[in-house]
Structure 1
Amino acid sequence: MSREDADIFEQLYRSFQKKITLGNGVEGFLDYCKSNDIFIAILTNGRPEPQYAKVVALGLHKWFDDEHIFISGGIGYQKPDPQAFKYVENAFALNPEETWYVGDTYEADVVGANTAGWHTIWFNHRNRECPEKNRADITVKSIEELKEVIRGQIG
């Protein structure tokens, strides 16, 4: 890729990044968590500046304070490294046996959280085949299914 093409790609990426939206049902799910005092935080991979721009573009501050947003480039560990999960665990003195992680990327989210000793919910909304024996405690394929599981497990 030429430098000119890379610059064009970067400009397009930044432009579209401001136009991202939450999937159907996500706002209602986050409202449910907030109204039921279910502890939630974000742990995402990437560089802090572009990832934080996504948080802002999605309006996630309605549900997450900055102290509940963890970006791998800012904490020094990237999923699936269990230390990324331990970083969050230590920040809030979480008990791993009572901590659930919801993620849609099997390799980074399920494997990493599972290795850290957390319970896992694989949000397999893309209907991916599991690359190995499924290590997730629970697999869901829709936000509605996820909300039902959360109601039954946590809330």
Structure 2
Amino acid sequence: MDPITSLSQKAVFFDVDDTLYDHLIPFREALQRVLGTGEDFPYAPAYHRMRYYSDKLSAEAGGTPTHGSELSEMRTRRFSLSLAEFGILLTGSQAEEVQSEYLNRQFDITLFDGARPLMDDLIGRGIIVGLITNGPPEHQMKKIRALGLSELIPPERIFISGAVGITKPDRKLFDHVTDALNLTSAACYYVGDSWRNDVVGALEADWNVLWFNHRGAEPESSHSPHFKVDSYADIAQILLDAAGQAQK
């Protein structure tokens, strides 16, 4: 698949969790606080499995639950299932405590180095910048506010699955974005870390995709993202080069 080389008057959208900030940090801190795991625990592989089960359980539920017992059960089960693979068998109360600690720590977060300058630069060049993320609306908005992005990105360019009623990787969410902002799929770039939700979802909608694979994950299907990147320096070079070509 050949990448589109010009942004012209186009748009760049970012995923939130583990794309704009390090999602592993609250995960590691929650396990250390509640379970007493040490520095030698394989946090990154365990986090990857937690994200896998989160996506799997969400898909089985027909999309990320946004409230009530279904959401609570999904959140605790992902910890029980993932940590069992690493020899930690959680009781129900332990799973709830880990989830609660993990949830509370998700709002003490900062953007990855280079993310904010890139957004500022794109906006300064007249490029539309927005967010597309799965999850309950208020929960995700608290993260967005904690990252200082609610002042930069107007609400009409923030798309949260729980508010829209469509969950990634369903291409209808990406189609909803293009329809809402009067864009074409060829005009849109998407930056995300999740193969299933971000790469597959955006490619199915014919968007231009940058797979932010900063954790060294393996592809999970035959889909082919336009760009594979592992740093914001790489992301910036691709997007700003394209923006510069569009302005010539």
Q: How does 1:28-67 map to 2 (within 5 A)?
A: 28-67=117-156
Contact (CA 8 Å) 1:124, 1:141: kept in 2 or not? yes
TM-score by length of 1: 0.90
Kindly indicate whether residue 184 of structure 2 is the aligned counterpart of residue 95 of structure 1: yes
Contact (CA 8 Å) 2:200, 2:223: kept in 1 or not? no
Kindly indicate whether residue 82 of structure 2 is the aligned counterpart of residue 2 of structure 1: no
Contact (CA 8 Å) 2:190, 2:209: kept in 1 or not? yes
% identical aligned pairs: 34
Q: How many positions carry a matched residue from both structures?
A: 154
Deviation by residue 1:100-136 (Cα, 9 ceiling, x = unmatched): 1111111111111111111111111112122233410
Aligned to 2:114: 25
Contact (CA 8 Å) 2:169, 2:200: kept in 1 or not? yes
Unaligned ranges ≥5, structure 1: none
Q: Which has the larger radius of gyration?
A: 2
Kindly indicate whether residue 106 of structure 2 is the aligned counterpart of residue 13 of structure 1: no
Deviation by residue 1:122-153 (Cα, 9 ceiling, x = unmatched): 11111212223341011111100100000122
TM-score by length of 2: 0.58
Kindly indicate whether residue 129 of structure 2 is the aligned counterpart of residue 129 of structure 1: no
Kindly indicate whether residue 230 of structure 2 is the aligned counterpart of residue 141 of structure 1: yes
Contact (CA 8 Å) 2:203, 2:225: kept in 1 or not? yes
Kindly indicate whether residue 157 of structure 2 is the aligned counterpart of residue 68 of structure 1: yes
The one-letter code matched in structure 2 to 1:131 is E
Unaligned ranges ≥5, structure 2: 1-90
Bigger mean CA deviation after superposition, 128-137 or 42-51: 128-137
